[in-house]
């Protein structure tokens, strides 16, 4: 297997995100369930890991497990706000952020993961409540992303964030398996 394929398998353990070609009620239920389930799955994945293990990168030049946990909290807070903006404004322009720079900040590099685990648990409870209240037309609402210069429908963003949580959870689970950690 080529080094590029190996690198991609580590970098994208569940594959790269693909925008769905269609959207069914079952898809929405599945994606909302994934968002609902992520905090408990993430907590289970990191419980019992030592600080040394938490500070191990999941790949060469990658983030540590600790940074991944804090990144999930940062990213999902931003996404929740974007959902709210898209439902309360007409195609709002969202505020991008430099996730790589956020991951280098002291809180992302050194804070206990429990802080972000608690934050994710509360955030996801609120987010899932909100998502389950959305009607069919709500999923077609959009926001504008100035970095990519594109509009995104909330249904696509829901699929993306269901993927995003699983993507990073699998970074952690695969590293634990590779290292033989329980």
Hey, what domains does the chain have and what are their CATH numbers? Answer: 31-179 (1.20.120.450)
Q: Pick the closest to residue 20 from 160, 169, 141, 179 (CA basis).
A: 160
How high is the pLDDT of residue 53?
98
pLDDT score of 7 = 83
Mean pLDDT of the 134-158 span: 97
Q: Residue 18 pLDDT > 70, yes or no? A: yes
CA-nearest of 119, 34, 123 to 70 is 119
pLDDT tens digits along 38-47: 999 999 999 9
Q: Write the CB contacts of 161 (distance below 8 Å, at least 6 apart in sequence).
A: 31, 35, 76, 79
Query: For residue 1, is pLDDT > 60?
Result: no
Phi and psi at 129, nearest 5°, equal -55, -45
**pLDDT of res. 3:** 63
Express each pLDDT in 51-92 by its tens digit.
Answer: 999 999 999 999 999 999 999 999 999 999 999 999 999 999
Single pTM value for the model:
0.95
């Amino acid at each position: 297997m080529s080094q590029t394929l190996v690198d991609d398998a580590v970098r994208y353990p569940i594959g790269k995100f693909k925008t769905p070609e269609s959207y069914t009620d079952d898809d929405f239920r599945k994606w909302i369930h994934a968002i609902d389930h992520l905090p408990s799955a993430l907590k289970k994945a990191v419980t019992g890991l030592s600080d040394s293990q938490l500070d191990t990168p999941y790949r060469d030049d990658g983030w540590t497990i600790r940074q991944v946990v804090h990144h999930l909290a940062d990213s999902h807070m931003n996404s929740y706000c974007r959902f709210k903006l898209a439902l309360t404004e007409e195609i709002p322009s969202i505020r991008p952020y430099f996730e790589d720079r956020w991951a280098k900040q002291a809180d992302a590099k050194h804070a206990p993961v429990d802080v972000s685990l608690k934050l994710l648990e509360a955030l996801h409870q609120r987010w899932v409540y909100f998502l389950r209240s959305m009607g069919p037309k709500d999923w077609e609402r959009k926001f504008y992303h100035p970095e990519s210069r594109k509009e995104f429908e909330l249904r696509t963003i829901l699929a993306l964030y269901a993927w995003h949580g699983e993507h990073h959870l699998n970074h952690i689970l695969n590293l634990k398996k590779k290292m033989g950690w329980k």
